[in-house]
Amino acid sequence: MPRFRTTAATIALIATTCGLAEAQKITATIRGDVTGPTGASISGARIVAHNLDTGVERQGVSDDRGAYVPDFLPPGPYDVTAEQQGFSRRRLAGIVLQVNQDVRLDIALQVGEVRQEVSVEAAAPLLQASSSSVGSVIEQRQVHNLPLNGRQFLQLALLTPGAVTAPPGGRQASERGTLSSAININGIARARTFS
């Protein structure tokens, strides 16, 4: 019987923390397809994501469908380069990645020599099309300069589009504990209680 309780407690602990592990992601991902001028997939293209702040590079190769996924990238500014024999090198500059961002970045290579380089400055904001999740990065400047009543960090969540506080006197605003903060994001309640 004690062995059963230990096993059950271990399974319960693992099941409880599995969802938390994904929520604690501190890196970003770039994914996309490498294509040629006709739109055909290019397999075996060398992809390099170069972090401009640290100089660290993450390299990969596109698969047989032309897809590539350099993941676990620390947040920061990047240059992404793609090259393949018979095509001009393509460099996408100024791509800024944030925490937990999953960005789609398709790369179209032009016929030419690898010595030729086509450089594109990333001007449009990156779209996260693979997920419908809502997220926001609060910059250090905002944390330092915004007036926070009592320095309660959860008030920063209200800077996220679609976030509102729960109505006063409601069940969410007064449940459990001494300090309760209930925030609704797009109408879905997320209550966090601290004792």
Q: Where in the chain is the domain with CATH 2.60.40.1120?
A: 29-121
Helix (H, G, I), strand (E, B) or coil at 9: helix
Report strand pairing: 89-97 vs 117-121.
Answer: parallel
Backbone angles phi, psi at 109, to 5 degrees: -90, 150
Q: What is the mean pLDDT of the chain?
A: 76
Give the whole-angstrom CA distance, residue 149 versus residue 127: 33
- Residue 171's CB is within 10 A of a number of other CB atoms, namely 11
Give the whole-angstrom CA distance, residue 102 versus residue 31: 7
**CA distance readout (Å), 35 to 81, 155, 175, 188:** 14, 44, 54, 40
Q: Which long-range contacts (CB under 8 A, 24 or more apart) does 160-164 make?
A: 160/134, 160/135, 160/136, 160/185, 161/134, 161/136, 162/134, 162/186
Whether the full predicted model's pTM is greater than 0.75, yes or no, is no
pLDDT of 151 reads 67
Report strand pairing: 29-35 vs 89-97.
Answer: unpaired
pLDDT of 176 reads 40
Identify the weakest region by mean pLDDT among 13-17, 31-35, 100-104, 182-186: 13-17
- pLDDT of 10-64, one tens digit each? 565 555 555 444 556 789 999 999 999 999 999 999 999 999 999 999 999 999 9
| DSSP alpha helix (H) spans, 24-165 | 140-145
- 124 pLDDT higher than 50: no
Helix (H, G, I), strand (E, B) or coil at 95: strand
Find the largest Cα–Cα distance for the chain: 71
pLDDT tier at 72 (50, 70, 90 boundaries)?
very high
- 149 pLDDT higher than 80: no
CATH class of the domain comprising 29-121 = mainly beta
The residue that leads in pLDDT, 184 or 111, is 111
Give the whole-angstrom CA distance, residue 76 versus residue 66: 25
